Chains A and B, each alone.
Chain A
Amino acid sequence: MSENNFSRRKFLTGAAAIGAVGAVGFNPLVSCSSGGGSATSGGSFKKLSDLAIPPLLDAAPDGKPLKAGVIGCGGRGTGAALNWLSAGPNVTITALGDVFQDRVNSCKARIKKDFNVDVPEENCFVGFDNYEKVIAADVDVVILCAPPVFRPDHFEAAVNARKHVFLEKPVAVDPTGIRKVMAASKIADGLGLKIVAGTQRRHQHEYIEIYKKVATGEIGEIISANAYWNQSKLWHRNPNADWSEMEYMIRDWVNWLWLSGDHIVEQHVHNIDVINWFTGTHPTKAVGFGSRHRRVTGDQYDNFSVDFVYDNGMHMHSMCRQINGCTNNVSEWIRGTKGQTNCANKIFDLQGNEIYAFQYPADAEGKPQRIDPYRQEHVDLITCIRQNIPVNEAEGIAISNMTAIMGRVSAYTGKEVTWDEMMNSDMKLGPTTYIMGDVGIMATATVPVPGEAPQG
């Protein structure tokens, strides 16, 4: 068992060595387990200079023109396209792809309106194979923002075509997809491609400042963590007589397991990723609850509560909910042996007194100069491409994504689920081939009920 743990860490450490930006270099759990949980060993902490921190420039440096293609032109794809165009000089968008014509049209119009960039009509592609055409359209970078079930294929194709990638989260909905992303990530390393993931907290100044302090030992060894994404109902679409079953499900994708991975994966992965980032490892097992109270469409739950356990016995409690009229909270919390933190911008002592708060520098009017982290991701991506700084966040997001899947499977089944089971699982969600028509999923879709009914 201990051998396994060792190699798992080695795997993660390998990820850290390769991905300069956002990858984890700090591993408190190693010393916790090897040093018998000694609270004062301190040997696991890193020097500030050894941490992998993104360049974090205010704007990307100039350089030779970079052409991007957007795959998935919905809300997030259009948003990412605008972030890309705003990130620095001499960047443009030359190709768009989506399964729906109206999405391509709206994205094209928005880019024109906001940045006066004309994407040529012949480079606008519609259909399930749009990604192949976008990748083939002489672009340098692809922005992958389709629903997550499609991401592994899109990412693999982009890497094999030697494209730099902006990789929106989540990156997969099942273990089969996760492994495909992990393998493609290794290929990307070999090719020296630059990959930035859509886990924007890793590109957010205040999170990074706190990460530096935690990684260098300011709150001691990490002993427990919480991750929350409790919010109101997200959104849904009702079926439309003009839409086939497939078209309807994709337009309503955040409510369908096979498309989104359920909301613990689709949304809450952000917070789980922060804990994995700060701890430098991932949980090895999970027991979760979850249910569906008020979701309108689809086959997903609308709340999860998962107890994640790490090798050294540390626990992370994770909860997420998408229900109106409840108490909301989107945040993280980490307790160490010497202090605690909200991860986002503050550090507290063990009594709860604030001992540090991150402040953005003020502009001329005295307002804090906060940089939009969604834009910062693209600034960092372009900076790394132009200055040839290694960055590959694919494996990091794949690991956090897998953590969330492990929690989901546990909640669905009521059973303890281990990391090794997930890494060896052949689970693959969704139809085997994608056609815009009736695919027979909605008729048979059921919401999972954990455990067994009592007898008699």
Chain B
Amino acid sequence: MFKKFGHFLRKRLLFVVFIGFILGVIVAFYSHKAVEATSTNQFCEVCHVHPHVFESWKLSPHYDTRSGIQVGCVECHLPPKGEGYMKEKIRLGIKDVYGFLFKDSADFNWEGKRTVEMAQHFTFQSSCVGCHTNLFPRNLSKEGMEAHLYYSMNEKDLLCLNCHIDVGHYDPNRVHSTNVNFGSGVAINQEVYTEPAVVSTHENFTETIPGSVVSFNMIAIPGGSFQMGSPDSEPMRSSDEGPVRTVNVSPFFMAEVEVTWNEFLVFYTQTAAEGRSTDTEGSRLSAEVDAITGPTPPYGQPDQNWGMGDRPAITMSYHAAETYCRWLSQVTGKTYRLPTEAEWEYAARGGTQTPYFFEGNPKDFTDGGFFRKRKTEIDNFVVYNANSLLRTQRPEKVDANPFGLKNMLGNAAEYVADWYAPDAYSMLQDGATDPKGPESGTERVVRGGYFRSDAANVRSAARDYTRTEAWLKSDPQMPKSIWWLSDCNYISFRVVCEFDDKTGN
């Protein structure tokens, strides 16, 4: 039987090849049709049920273009054909089908997906420049020319999305210009403090910022000794956290929470007037020469439109954080400053020597994906990538550590005063008292994880550092701001207040 069929095939070889060819053409034709059919806006709309996606697209310049060409979903959300189109189509298709079948779209963090950090994973740079081949058309504005010139010199570090995140989906709250109204319209109608808090003993107190309605809690941190850094045996540690050193820390006060927008905006509105224009320079009275010059208006929206109030203030430069401390010292008559790295870790540990100030192994808290559920005990204490909705959260979301401090390990990262060196602890004397870190350096230490950190980076010993150049990469101003960071939306800081146990203040 088979032999006969084989014989038939051999005899009619040409015929068989012809049939195969026809079948091949048909399959190719229909798979092409299928690819086309599954790439229409209408097809996307079937599953992408979140209504604002289509609403915001219809309000965007990609829907209503001057030339009448309408830019559809896949033209931005897939790479150009021949540059990984099919691969991404399959990857995103599987992801979308999985999401459609097993997830509730109401739980998706749509706002988070609209940030540059997220959007770049499903909005393709190659597609932007695939259509926008000439970045220097004749009618380009002066600002556009400067910006595109800068882009052409830094293509590797920049995305079109850095400046044009809202071209496909309109965002009414987005600001891409100098934001001179930032911080205005803060509610009044409350008691305005006239005096700072009076402190004579080493106990918790509430600081009141004179001339404002804002107060904040300072926690008395007892002096003591602790093991700084993490042992080799600690899971998910980095080598810059060792070797472990015994360090003594004198008593001090530390803010219960990261500097809030309420607090930072008092500084901004009280000092910024002088920074806003140079023409006040000449008219300043000699008595005011010591006045502190505060931030110039930010470019864009520093709070990322996540809200202000008691959320941590973010995106200020190290210089701005330091200037804030100088200003706060001046208006309160106390000595406020950034914590040293040793003070920070001592306070964060709150007397513990474990990876966190609560029980648990870092590996258990890492988001394990589909097959392994993370443990959620950490959610009471830490805002990090698994629970943050990819933005800062208000302090009330978490409980304090044993010292009474909140959000040391997560929410926003925090500047500390020390210069960063990967081998800082090797150079540190065992048993040192109040060490201040390396004498010089190029980047500052950053401590505490933030809303996008993995469980590994919200451990008490985890260290990070500033990226001076990268954090200003997309600032279009010339010169770049010394007050605000264009490319770091997770940095904040926390103040400490010095305590003199001899004088009691």
Contact = CB atoms under 8 A, between A and B. Distances in A.
B136 A187 contact: yes
Nearest to A188: B136
B138 interface: yes
Interface string B140-172: 100001101110111111000000000000000
A190 B157 contact: no
The B interface, classified by DSSP as helix, strand, loop or mixed, is loop
The A interface, classified by DSSP as helix, strand, loop or mixed, is helix
A175 B282 CA distance: 27
A14 B155 CA distance: 12
Contact of A424 (B152, B155, B478): B478
B10 interface: no
Interface in B151-199: 152-157
A370 to B, nearest CB: 39
A48 interface: no
B155 A10 contact: yes
A8 interface: yes
B155 A183 contact: no
By CB atoms of chain B within 10 A, which of A189, A191, A424 has the most? Answer: A424
Contacts of B153: 7-8, 11, 423
Interface residues of A, number: 23
B134 interface: yes
Contact of A10 (B137, B138, B148, B156): B156
Nearest to B470: A3
Interface in B436-481: 469, 478-480
B135 interface: yes
Contact of B136 (A14, A183, A423, A425): A183
Contacts of B137: 187, 190
By CB atoms of chain B within 10 A, which of A3, A11, A186 has the most? Answer: A186
A186 B136 contact: yes
Interface residues of B, number: 21
Contacts of A423: 150, 153
Contact of B134 (A160, A179, A190, A425): A190
B138 A183 contact: no
A180 B156 CA distance: 22
A264 interface: no
Contacts of A180: 145
Contacts of B478: 424-426
Contact of A160 (B138, B146, B480): B138
Contacts of A4: 154, 469
Contacts of B135: 186
Contacts of B134: 190
A104 interface: no
Contacts of B146: 179, 183
B111 to A, nearest CB: 30
Given A187-B136, A187-B140, 20 more contacts: A1-B469, A3-B156, A4-B469, A7-B155, A7-B156, A7-B157, A160-B138, A179-B145, A179-B146, A183-B140, A183-B145, A183-B146, A183-B148, A186-B136, A187-B138, A190-B134, A425-B478, A425-B479, A426-B478, A426-B479
28 contacts: A1-B469, A3-B156, A3-B157, A4-B154, A4-B469, A7-B154, A7-B155, A7-B156, A7-B157, A8-B153, A10-B155, A11-B152, A179-B145, A179-B146, A180-B145, A182-B149, A183-B136, A183-B140, A183-B145, A183-B146, A183-B149, A186-B136, A187-B137, A189-B136, A190-B137, A423-B150, A424-B478, A425-B479
- A-B pairs with the 6 shortest C-beta distances? A186-B136, A183-B145, A190-B134, A187-B136, A11-B153, A7-B156
